[in-house]
Amino acid sequence: MGILKHTGRGRLPRLILSLAFGLIYSGVMNAQSITIKPFWTEEKDPAAVGRRVITELLSRKQFMLYDTGDVRALHYAEACAVYGGARLSGLLKDTMMIGLLAERYREDKLPKNTANHVDANVCGIIELELYLHTGRPELLARGLELADGQWINPRSDGLTRQTRYWIDDVWMIGILQVEAWRATKKPFYLERAALEIDSYLAKLQQPTGLFFHGQAAPLYWGRGNGWVAAGLAEIISVLPKTNPHYASLLSGYRKMMESLLRYQAPSGMWRQLVDHEEAWEESSCTAMFGYAVTLGVRSGLLPSADYLPVVEKAWLALTDHIDEQGRLRDVCTGTGQKNDVQFYLKRPRVTGDFHGQAPLLWFAYSLLADDGA
């Protein structure tokens, strides 16, 4: 496998008690689950589309590497695609596909993870998700090492030292802790994620409900907001109502979803700059927003009368951008911050980039799942 550089018996009662406490803890969540009836044609079936995307992932001869000198790991975008692929394969009970993913992403085949950066630690979602489907303890151990590593010597306010207030961290930090909770049912993982994401909301969410790309770019870049939307949906769809951050996170999530409802293009897509009608329709943010809205509808957090049409339009439009090989077109290439509208409007569009492949798999999963999360 090549590298493609991108320039981030006594124990049983205790286990039963832990799982039971986790179920009690999670039982105070939003229990309402909305079933989404199929609205798609055979060629747009999320199961068929997802399998095609996973097959394309498995066909790649190289890994995408995050390498910034002192930080080295499998690229976070590929990790997010593996997470999506494993989650969908598990839902479909496709044990062969799970096995192929587990083989491709064996520890001895992957680049050494420096585990000292938010974009490196997030790779723990691969091991944790594969553990949920295989039960292999070594996968759990490695995944938890990366999740717990984020909170070694935390800040005085309880936040991880990896806090940097970049909007994509809402997903990168949040999903790793949520996955650790899914694997262990230990509440403190959700508590970490809720504390962290609430601090990001308080600092970064704008009155519109959206998020600037950064201090140097007060513009609503699509994929940047996509990371936030997906991260918020992941945590709020599983967080107990008793959590002290629940009300704040739910308010921030709904505020963002209301804004996205307003800015969805007539086609069903969202744009490279969310609030600019002249901006081109971009696939990765559309997949992320579609996923975030679907989790909200399924969890009963968003009114289905208002948001189910949003979901349907987004999926039907997005799947028009997939080629026969399962590669998503019109994905914005990696983009730094710049206070210049034209800079964003002129960014290159690529096909098959993991930044698009990953949320496409999340979206497909969310349309078929029945648990709302």
CA separation, residue 246 to residues 113, 249, 253 (Å): 33, 5, 10
Confidence of residue 371 (pLDDT cuts 50, 70, 90): low
Residue 43 backbone phi and psi in degrees, to 5: -70, -15
- Asked if residues 192 and 199 have their Cβ atoms less than 8 Å apart, the reply is no
Mean pLDDT across the chain, nearest whole number? Answer: 92
What pLDDT is attached to residue 34? 81
Look up the pTM and report it: 0.92
Kindly tell me the burial class for residue 45, based on how many C-beta atoms sit within 10 Å of its own C-beta (0-12, 13-18, 19 or more): middle
Q: Three-state DSSP class for 111?
A: coil
Total structural domains within the chain: 1
Kindly tell me the burial class for residue 122, based on how many C-beta atoms sit within 10 Å of its own C-beta (0-12, 13-18, 19 or more): buried
The mean per-residue pLDDT over the stretch 110-119 comes to: 94
Q: Three-state DSSP class for 184?
A: helix
Of 237, 240, 344, the C-alpha closest to 298 is 237
Tell me, yes or no, whether 200 lies in a domain: yes
- Tens of pLDDT, residues 40-95: 999 999 999 999 999 999 999 999 999 998 999 999 999 999 999 999 999 999 99
- Tens of pLDDT, residues 305-360: 999 999 999 999 999 999 999 999 999 999 999 999 999 999 999 999 999 999 99
Tell me, yes or no, whether 31 lies in a domain: no
Tell me, yes or no, whether 125 lies in a domain: yes
Task: Please give the residue range of the domain that contains residue 228.
Answer: 2-8+51-368
Tell me, yes or no, whether 36 lies in a domain: no
Q: Three-state DSSP class for 270?
A: strand
What pLDDT is attached to residue 3? 46
Crossing angle for the helix pair 246-263 and 222-236, nearest 10 degrees?
140
Tell me, yes or no, whether 318 lies in a domain: yes
- Asked if residues 302 and 370 have their Cβ atoms less than 8 Å apart, the reply is no
CATH number at residue 259: 1.50.10.10
- Tens of pLDDT, residues 121-148: 999 999 999 999 999 999 999 999 999 9
Tell me, yes or no, whether 198 lies in a domain: yes
